[in-house]
Amino acid sequence: MLTAAARKWRSFVVQQGQVVALDPTSRARFNLEKANILLLDDTPMGMAILVQIVTGLGAKKLHRCTDVEMAKQVASNTQLDLAIVDALPPSGAGYGFVKWLRNTAQEPNCYTPVLMTTAHTPRSDINRARDCGSHLIVKKPIAPIVLLERIIWVSKEGRPFLFSGDYVGPDRRFRDERPPGGVGRRREDAPASGPPPATTPSDDETASSASSLT
| SS3 (DSSP) at 194 | coil
| SS3 (DSSP) at 49 | helix
| SS3 (DSSP) at 94 | helix
Q: Which H or E run includes 138?
A: strand 136-139
C-beta closer to other proteins: residue 34 or 197:
34
Q: Does 58 bind other proteins (CB under 8 A)?
A: yes
Q: Does 28 bind other proteins (CB under 8 A)?
A: yes
Q: Does 163 bind other proteins (CB under 8 A)?
A: yes
Identify the residue among 22, 38, 40, 75 touching other proteins (CB under 8 A): 22
Identify the residue among 158, 191, 196, 197 touching other proteins (CB under 8 A): 158
Exposure of 162 by Cβ count < 10 A (0-12 exposed, 13-18 middle, 19+ buried)?
Answer: middle
CA dist 74 to 39, 58, 67, 68, 105, Å?
10, 21, 11, 10, 11
Identify the residue among 8, 10, 32, 94 touching other proteins (CB under 8 A): 32
Please check whether residue 22 is in contact with residue 152, taking contact to mean a CB–CB distance below 8 angstroms: yes
Identify the residue among 160, 181, 191, 197 touching other proteins (CB under 8 A): 160
**Binding letters toward other proteins, positions 71-90, x by CB under 8 A:** --------x-xx------xx
Q: Which residues bind other proteins (CB under 8 A)?
A: 11, 22-35, 43-46, 48-49, 52-58, 79, 81-82, 89-90, 108, 111, 113, 119-120, 122-124, 140-145, 148, 151-152, 154-166, 171, 212-214
